[in-house]
Amino acid sequence: MAESYTDAPLLTPRFDAALAYALAHHARQLRKGTPVPYAAHLLACASLVLEMEGDEDEAIGALLHDVVEDGGGPEALTDIAARFGEGVAAIVLSNSDRVEQEEEPEGDRSSWYHRKRAYVDAFAEKSPAALRVSLADKLHNGRSILLDYRTHGDALWARFKQRQGIATRIYYRELALAFEREEHRMGAAAQPYVGELRRVVDAITALAEEHQGPDSRARFPT
């Protein structure tokens, strides 16, 4: 089949500028427990958003989605709005489970739980654009977790400081359910990726059962 072309490319120099911004912010950061540059995750997220037929603001939001949460704080959010527009800043904010950079006490899991619960509980208020960026983020992370779990077994969970990883697995099950509830708002092109996240999450759960037996909890406590 011949290649397809367009006279109106979706991505403009704004995307190039956002990529440079993201690379500069995350220059020294690696994926947890690996030698892989963090940029690999950002590029994967932008790719997935574009495959879901997201627009340039969403692709830029995917590149920048961790800037505020990973050290940039409120100042970075203001800067992103000035450089790339309020629409991009809104996507980034919606995909940040914290803005203020407060230190969490070592071993304190309660603050992690409350942040993740609040993130999931806010799905009904997230825009379709923010949901697509979130789905790209969680799907790429989930695929990476599954691949590494198959490769390294339970040693994987040491990266997350959670012993046997039950908190992470519960979080991803809650995410899969939340995306399924909002699937109708995300557009036809995004819906197959909601199903793919479900398959990934179920595969992680099944693999954990092989290694550890059934999880003692399946959902967030109510």
Q: Which residues contact 104 (CB under 8 A, 6 or more apart)?
A: 111, 112
Question: Has residue 55 got a pLDDT over 90?
Answer: yes
Q: Could you tell me the CA-to-CA distances from 198 to 46, 70, 124 in Å, in that order?
A: 20, 27, 19
Q: Say which CATH number the domain at 172 has.
A: 1.10.3210.10
| pLDDT one-digit tens code per residue, 194-207 | 999 999 999 999 99
Q: Note whether residue 50 is domain-resident.
A: yes
Question: Cα–Cα distance between 131 and 121 in angstroms, integer?
Answer: 13
pLDDT digits (tens, 9 = 90+) for 211-221: 999 998 888 87
Task: For residue 221, tell me if it sits in a domain.
Answer: no
Q: How many domains are there within the chain?
A: 1
pLDDT of 104 > 70? The answer is no
Q: What percent of the chain has pLDDT over 70?
A: 93
Find the domain containing 122 and state its range.
13-100+109-212
Read off the pTM.
Answer: 0.94
Strand partners, 164: none
217 lies in a domain?
no
Q: In this predicted model, what pLDDT tens digit does every residue of 161-179 receive, in sequence order?
A: 666 799 999 999 999 999 9
pLDDT at position 101 = 60
